[in-house]
Structure 1
């Protein structure tokens, strides 16, 4: 059975923690700087072997515009719902 504890801090906080350690701060200093309890920061560091386990880049958001959604709906209605039939910009 899982123990009852606080939820882990968000990925945003973890992304702030790792650059602090990269600049030479101890895990205690980095933890305090980002607002987490120092044993949490020490656990992150220990479990990851001192290497950031997550991407430190901000996550990208991919959203379709209303126009693109409507275009896709029309293509699907025409039974052309495959990616190669869609004239949308390919990234």
Structure 2
């Protein structure tokens, strides 16, 4: 079993870089003109889960950003899935 300091020694720099990348993305979107869409809303709704100290944080964030139904939609925006559910569609 790893100690917390072992994990921090190994992964802290990468986690720090990921967090800074996410903050920069949020800043870019907020500076951009126009309105956001369901992807922006889904991302903002998932952010508080990062602070939740409960177990399975990754699973809960993935579920928050995934289509909730069992039947797939007939089409996706563009050519692929968009990474967040459009609950208004």
TM-score for both structures, normalised by structure 1: 0.21
Structure ID, larger Rg: 1
- The TM-score normalised by the length of structure 2 is 0.21
The structure whose RCO (Cα within 8 Å, separation 6+) is larger is: 2
